Amino acid sequence: LTFYVYLNKDEEAAFHLVEFASKLETIIEQSIMNASLIVRNIQSAKNFLGLYRYAKAIGKIIDASMDIAYISITDHNPNEEVVKGLFSLSDEIVVKIKANKKIEEEISKLQDRYPVDIIALIRNNVLQIFPLGKIEENDTLYIRGPLSFVNNLLEEYGYEKFEKFEINENLKKILSKIVYLRDSIKVLLELAYFVILTPNEEIMNNIDEMEMMLDAYNLELMEEIVKIPPTKDNITNLSLLWLISKLEEISDAAEEIAMITITDPEIRDMFKDVYEAIGEKTLIIKAKNKISIQELSKGLKNFGSYIPAFKKDNNWILQTRLSIRDVEISENDYLILTYPIEFEEEVLKYLEKIKLI
């Protein structure tokens, strides 16, 4: 949503994001304060330190995200050519629509028909993140998903489809790198989160390598923009440099999150207890058999389980519950599964049945 605001100078969404970020920061402060009150011994002090480091890293991500959104409403947003170019080069886009009567239905049913997510809804000037319930006429919807599926939805409900935009080669080269950087950081954040819950040396090594690679990539990209400006608009070039610097801050915070529990099993157990208190578990497996992601996802869906990420050909690939990749898993590929605790036995039996573990 922040990236959408950056590209579209969406003042309505920016205002609500600032409010939402303020609430998150208050929650973080209260959590730290409450956790500090239960420190009684060395172990509880270590747990508190782990929570504090996690909260600090999340705070950095919030600050960097808000900086990305804020620059767009200070007359430093990128020009139209760059906006259309970044949309055209993205595999996944976000669009904003005002709900008409035709689209008034349950969000869950809409998302069942299309592999898209309703990531935000504004109703009566109140922002809802990942909303539930029924869409009402005049709701403002922010829809995220693959371009083709988003366009199918827009067309069915009477909205104008998004068309790809031709970009000159020099600009396309720079913008493609920015899209790659953004998508890589999304992967890094997801992997860091899973390392907190389920330690895995393979993933930790990947996070270290990705973070170092992204550091170098950021510098090279910024140097390229300075040496050969991609546009004649200096404000746009400055805006792109700002965006890259903030993505770097998010990348650093992701590595900090991953490092919190990797060396201390007891802190890791504390985070797992917190996560499992909301009724979900995470499992990382190394495949022992071939199977398509779509077939596996279909089988796991019976137990409320899904695959948020998997590693194929040395690359980590993310997916949502709705955007399932058409990829075949091979022996020794890695998969990350999440599932409700009450279905743990059924999930493990199913994986054994298909000889994946």
Tell me the pLDDT tens digit for each residue of 158-168: 999 988 888 88
Low-confidence ranges of the chain (pLDDT < 70): 197-202, 261-265, 274-278, 319-323
Please, what's the b/e burial string for 107-141 (b: 16 or more CB within 10 A of its CB; e: otherwise)? beebbeebbbbbbbbbbeeebbeebeeebeeebbb
Q: What is the pTM of this model?
A: 0.78
pLDDT value at residue 186? 82
pLDDT value at residue 188? 81
Cβ(118)–Cβ(111) under 8 Å? yes
Residue 184 carries which DSSP code?
Answer: H
Cβ(214)–Cβ(188) under 8 Å? yes
Stretch (H or E) spanning 312: strand 306-312
- The dihedral formed by the CA atoms of 49, 50, 54 and 55, expressed in degrees to the nearest 10: -40
pLDDT value at residue 320? 61
pLDDT value at residue 351? 94
How far apart, in Å, do the first and last CA atoms of the chain sit? 37
The angle that helices 169-197 and 265-276 make with each other, rounded to 10 degrees, is 100
pLDDT value at residue 198? 67
Residues 6 or more apart whose Cβ sits within 8 Å of residue 314: none
pLDDT value at residue 276? 67
